[in-house]
Amino acid sequence: MQKNLSPTYYRLLTNQSFSLIETTISLLIFSAGIAIVASSYLNLLRAQELSQVSYTALEGFRLGTEKLWRDMKYGSNFASGPNRLTFFDFYCRESALVFNAANGTIEYAKDGVTTTLNDPTLLWTKGFETRLATNANGVTRLATIALQMDVPDRRGGTSTTLALQLSVAPLAAPFPSQPCQ
């Protein structure tokens, strides 16, 4: 008996196509690859968002302390107390820097307006200390604020501790009298 050597249409289809199982396995592998790439991308986006929020909080705190430093530079009549520093600014308006230990914030009060310098969910203040160095006439020649702050890891890890020190030598320091009396 002689076999037919020319392939039939059915035999051509079965030799050139994938079976249902092969197609399913390739789709499963492709889907797993897409899932891995998508989860990596989402984790990268989440980390970028957290770093952007932390950067914004630190930048806001930096701007606040820069404004505070400028006010202290031209200030006079410094007085420190527990968790607070008061002084008069250039225009003889009373200003106060107050540490609120209950909620971990630093508040800057000036002209009846109180501004919180830090968001406690992003920068928790756990230590606040002020030191004033005066000359023989009682004029403050150096005002120092030392802060200890925690930057909590919002993903549940450990927090990072920052130690900040703001030292200001007021311009009124060389003069024997306080300008705001």
Q: Cα–Cα distance between 121 and 129 in angstroms, integer?
A: 21
Inter-residue contact 75 to 94 (CB < 8 Å): no
Structure tokens at 65: 């302390």
pLDDT of residue 39: 94
Structure tokens at 96: 């106060």
CA 119 and chain centroid, separation: 9
Structure tokens at 88: 């008069």
AA letter at 76: S
How do the domains of the chain map onto residue ranges?
10-168
Residue that wins the pLDDT comparison between 126 and 39: 39
Residue that wins the pLDDT comparison between 115 and 181: 115
Confidence of residue 127 (pLDDT cuts 50, 70, 90): confident
Instruction: Decide if pLDDT at 149 tops 60.
Output: yes
Instruction: Decide if pLDDT at 71 tops 90.
Output: no
pLDDT of residue 175: 52
Instruction: Decide if pLDDT at 68 tops 70.
Output: yes
H or E segment and range at residue 34: helix 20-73
Q: Using alpha carbons only, how large is the chain's radius of gyration in Å?
A: 33
Mean pLDDT of 10-32: 79
Residue that wins the pLDDT comparison between 173 and 37: 37
Mean pLDDT of 32-36: 95
The pairing of beta strand 84-88 with beta strand 94-100: antiparallel
Average pLDDT, the chain: 80
AA letter at 165: Q
Instruction: Decide if pLDDT at 5 tops 60.
Output: no
Mean pLDDT of 118-128: 82
pLDDT of residue 90: 80
pLDDT of residue 176: 46
Closest by Cα among 81, 65, 62 to 73: 65
Inter-residue contact 131 to 151 (CB < 8 Å): no
Max mean pLDDT among 17-26, 45-54, 94-103 falls in 94-103
Name the phi and psi angles at 133, rounded to 5: -110, 125
CA angle 116, 120, 122 (to 5 degrees): 115
Mean pLDDT of 76-98: 85
Residue that wins the pLDDT comparison between 77 and 44: 44
Q: End-to-end CA distance of the chain: give it in Å, rounded.
A: 125
